[in-house]
């Protein structure tokens, strides 16, 4: 079946460091891919998305590129801030379905 | 109000109480979802309503009872819960036509504690 695998956290970085959170998916077709972010005490917010191979989603300095050849959708940011501390969820969804398949989440802690 | 709102934000209840969680979406969507988020566990999809009809019920115990009176409102009625039901309950909505669906937008969640 379809699944999403994320790197385990927590990921601890100093402010202005480069961030990569790995995400890979398995699917029977070509799903749409998403990154959601959950700040402490809040619900999930859509951070970015990509709907087809080679698409790049971007928002708030974060980027992720849909790589069909490696079935990956890694999240990157060139310079993290303390305010980026949160839990990040990678997710996939087949276009014919409402069902989001979530990864287990990766906690990011950015220190001043 | 904009987006997806949930009330209450926090709820403490005893095992014999009956309470309800409310979700309202202001996005004009036609599908709504209940998720359970427990510590150290993946998000669990509980119920899905599309065009006000329940289309998914993921083996959720009957002590959880959803209700979708219209496309903007979703309730989760709770009764005789167990301490292991303590979790963050998230509501989400999306737009779909029965064949394809756009991304889901989430509410802030209700933090439920069962004593």
- List A110's β-bridge partners, or say none: A13
- The CA distance from B52 to B32, in Å, is 8
Q: What is the model's pLDDT at position A66?
A: 97
Tokens of A21: 């959170």
CB atoms under 10 Å from CB of A70, counted, come to: 8
The per-residue pLDDT for range B46-73, each reduced to its tens digit, is 999 988 888 877 789 999 999 999 999 9
Q: Do A49 and B103 touch (CB under 8 A)?
A: yes
* Residue B111 vs residues A28, A36, B12, B44, B93: alpha-carbon distances, Å: 35, 19, 8, 15, 19
Neighbouring-strand partners of residue B60: none
CB contact under 8 A, B109 and A49: no
Span A32-48, average pLDDT: 93
Residues 6+ away with beta carbon under 8 Å from A68: A30, A53, A54
Terminal Cα-to-Cα distance of chain B (whole angstroms): 32
Provide, as residue numbers in chain B, all residues whose Cβ is less than 8 Å from the Cβ of A43: 4, 6, 90, 106-109
* Distance between A67 CA and the closest CA of chain B, angstroms: 20
What integer best gives the mean pLDDT of chain B?
Answer: 91
Cβ distance A44 to B90 less than 8 Å, yes or no, reads yes
Model confidence band, residue A98 (pLDDT cutoffs 50, 70, 90)? confident
Nearest in space to A40 (alpha carbons), one of A12, A82, A75: A82
pLDDT at A41: 83
Q: Locate the chain A residue with the closest alpha carbon to B44.
A: A102
**Residue closest to B23 by CA, chosen among B102, B104, B101:** B104
Give the DSSP letter string of chain B.
Answer: --SEEEE-SEEEE-TT-EEEEEEEE-S--SEEEEEEE-TTS--EEEEEEETTEEEEE-S--TTEEEEEEETTEEEEEEES--GGG-EEEEEEEE-B-SS-B---EE---EEEEE-
Residues A42-93 pLDDT 10s: 889 999 999 999 999 999 999 999 999 999 999 999 999 999 999 999 999 9
Q: What is the pLDDT of residue B99?
A: 65
């Amino acid at each position: 079946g379809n699944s999403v695998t994320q790197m385990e956290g927590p990921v601890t970085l100093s402010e202005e460091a480069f961030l990569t959170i790995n995400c890979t998916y398995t699917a029977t077709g070509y799903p749409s891919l998403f990154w959601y972010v959950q700040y402490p005490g809040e619900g999930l917010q859509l951070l970015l998305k990509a709907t087809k191979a080679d698409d790049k989603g971007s928002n708030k300095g974060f980027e992720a590129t849909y790589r069909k050849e490696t079935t990956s959708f890694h999240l990157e940011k060139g310079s993290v801030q303390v305010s980026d501390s949160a839990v990040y969820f990678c997710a996939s969804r087949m276009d014919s379905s409402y069902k989001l398949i979530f990864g287990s989440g990766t906690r990011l802690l950015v220190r001043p | 109000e904009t987006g997806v709102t949930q009330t209450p934000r926090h709820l403490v209840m005893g095992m014999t109480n009956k309470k309800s969680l409310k979700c309202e979406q202001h996005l004009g969507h036609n599908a709504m979802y209940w998720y359970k988020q427990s510590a150290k566990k993946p998000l669990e999809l509980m119920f899905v309503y599309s065009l006000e009809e329940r289309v998914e019920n993921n083996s959720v115990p009957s002590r959880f009872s959803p209700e979708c009176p219209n496309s903007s409102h979703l309730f989760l009625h709770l009764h005789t819960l167990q301490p292991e039901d303590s979790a963050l309950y998230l509501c989400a909505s999306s737009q779909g036509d029965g064949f394809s669906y756009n991304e889901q937008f989430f509410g802030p969640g209700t933090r439920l504690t069962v004593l």
